[in-house]
Amino acid sequence: MSADHPALALRVEPLAPEFAPAAAALAAQLGLPGADATAEFAVQVGPDGVQLVELGPGAPGPIRVDFVAGAAAHRRLYGGGAGQMIAKAVGLQPGVRPTVLDATAGLGGDAFVLAQLGCAMTLLERQPVVATLLADGLARAAADPEVGPIVARMTLIRGNAIDTMAAWADEPPQVIYLDPMFPHRDKSALVKKEMRLFRPLVGDDDDAPALLAAALPLASHRVVVKRPRKAPAIAGPAPSYVLEGKSSRYDIYAKKSLKAKADPA
């Protein structure tokens, strides 16, 4: 997602007086004005954590990261487990749970699915407000007895994915997962609300080819790119193969096979 705040009127505000100190600290961290500033959008600090909301009449409700309830809980309980297309794209199979770098983490939904299925996840998010929402959601989920062990497998890094991958000094991830921002045409209310709030904030990922170019030499086994079903592939090498669903697809750039670790003798 886009690196910094674009030309957008954005402020940080508390939802009650007791949250004023936390809101002031967050405003300083993000380099944003406080509640008195005129703005189109607000990062709000309140009893349910940190949320992003569009201001003004007719605006949709706020967006926050919630791994415990709502859509994340429904998918965790009824999403299909390792039979989901994302699991197949990343290479999950009996005895195989690869280490995955999600280089375009966003709100962490896909990373949470893979962490639930047993993958050790590293999440990269460069847009400061989005990273703040994600960090807040992870912190709240860590206290939940059921979800805490899942998010314990999710490590968030704030920063530019291209630069971070180029300077990577740790053991390479087996799989790198990319879901660059693209003009979505999904008609669902959730996607429309998220896009209405996120599009002005993060824009499109015009550097998607550079993301792919940085990911390919770093991943030890494969790079997976999520795309709208009818969208063109990212400029660069052609994918090795494609998994196609009803509204989206996964372009897989295979380097070598993922295999289960042999049991020690």
Do 128 and 5 contact (CB within 8 A), yes or no? yes
Q: Among 133, 117, 116, 113, which residue's Cα sits nearest to residue 125?
A: 133
Q: Is 179 annotated as a binding residue?
A: yes
Residues 6+ apart with CB under 8 A from 170: none
Instruction: Quote the Cα angle for 137-138-143, to 5°.
Output: 100
Find out whether 227 is annotated in a ligand binding site.
Answer: no
Helix (H, G, I), strand (E, B) or coil at 162: helix
Q: Which helix (H) or strand (E) holds 44?
A: strand 41-46
Whole-number Å distance between alpha carbons of 186 and 177: 21
The overall longest dimension of the chain from CA atoms, in Å, is 67
CA–CA gap between residue 154 and residue 150 (Å, rounded): 7
175-178, strands of its sheet edge to edge: 154-158, 121-125, 100-102, 175-178, 222-228, 248-254, 241-244
- Known binding residue 158? Answer is no
Annotated binding residues, written as ranges, equal 125-126, 179
Annotated binding residues for S-adenosyl-L-methionine, written as ranges, equal 125-126, 179
